[in-house]
Amino acid sequence: MSRTILADSSANLAHGYTPESGASFASIPLTIRVDEQEFVDDKKLDVDEMIKAFEAYDGPARTACPSPEAWAKAFKEGGDEIIAVAMSSKLSGTYNSALIAKQMVEEEMPEKKIHVVDSEGTAGVEELIVKKIDELYKTDKPFEEIVEEVENFKDGTRTVFTLEKFDNLIKNGRMNKLIGKVASRLNIRVVGGGENGELVVYHKPRGSSRAYDKLLDEMGKKKNMEGADVIVSHTNNPEGAQVIAELIENNYPINSVIIKENGGLNSFYSEDNGIIVGF
């Protein structure tokens, strides 16, 4: 029996993941379109080039989820048992696209077992779910039991984030243009998190230090941090990510914290210097 783990590229695993269980892994890319340019969120993507493109373009950039055909191809090429992880269905059509593909492939290949997880998050949360699947794949547990445990684990994950730039929010009509310019001029940061798969703003502090403190407070409000695994992902902000990682280690009895760079999709959402924390 062969097993496969799939994740869309918002898991920040476009450069690959090597399962300890011996399962195969593949990242399914989203795309970002800026005017006439299309950026595929795979290991070849130059994130800095993409950021320069949407900063130079006055209009809104757009994202596109993987097609059902792209998911179906991965399902067909995958093992006998497949679990796919998708970013929040409230933020993207990726999850629904994967469900359509699952139905298509199961009709054609009924011997395959396929499950799609709505991570209700992005970035670190998705990677944590991938790692949990890998851990469970190392056992002899039946597929249905593994799926149940993965879904229970997913329900316990949380996301918080802090943003320094709001260009894409303004261009896509999610923030008033005048308010966005004033916020940038006054050194305002946004601190928010995921609530039932949607992004919610909690605070608008001035300066990075206050933003990091607010982010840390929100983590403790959202979850008992004892023994938690934490992934801090950033867009061109390793110094800020390091500060946050140290604050987490010094204030909470966590199990681990790692720092990652955001891929294309999460860099599009968080923009330069943005930080997303999954735990």
Token pair listed for 55: 């900063």
Q: Which amino acid is located at 93 in the chain?
A: G
- What tens digit of pLDDT does each residue of 198-249 get? 888 899 899 999 999 999 999 999 999 999 999 999 999 999 999 999 999 9
- What tens digit of pLDDT does each residue of 61-110 get? 889 999 999 999 999 999 999 999 999 999 899 999 999 999 999 999 99
End-to-end alpha-carbon separation of the chain, Å?
Answer: 31
Is there a single domain that holds both residue 142 and residue 186?
no
| Gap between the Cα atoms of 16 and 33, Å rounded | 23
| Gap between the Cα atoms of 26 and 194, Å rounded | 25
| Gap between the Cα atoms of 233 and 236, Å rounded | 10
Range of the domain at 141: 3-30+65-155
Task: Identify any residues that bridge with 116 across adjacent strands, giving them in sequence order.
Answer: 84
Domains in the chain, number: 2
Is there a single domain that holds both residue 168 and residue 272?
yes
Is there a single domain that holds both residue 165 and residue 144?
no
Evaluate whether 30 touches 70 at the Cβ level (below 8 Å). Answer: no
The SS3 of residue 48 is helix
Is there a single domain that holds both residue 80 and residue 181?
no
Other C-beta atoms closer than 10 Å to the C-beta of 161 total: 25
pTM: 0.93
Residue 83 lies in a domain: yes
Other C-beta atoms closer than 10 Å to the C-beta of 217 total: 15
* pLDDT value, residue 60: 84
Domain limit, last residue, from 105, 121, 155: 155
Nearest to 264 by CA among 19, 21, 66: 66
Domain limit, last residue, from 155, 181, 198: 155
**Residues comprising the chain, all counted:** 279
Query: Chain-wide mean pLDDT for the chain?
Result: 93
Token pair listed for 60: 């809104």
Other C-beta atoms closer than 10 Å to the C-beta of 15 total: 12
Other C-beta atoms closer than 10 Å to the C-beta of 91 total: 22
CATH of the domain at 163: 3.30.1180.10
Residue 40 lies in a domain: no
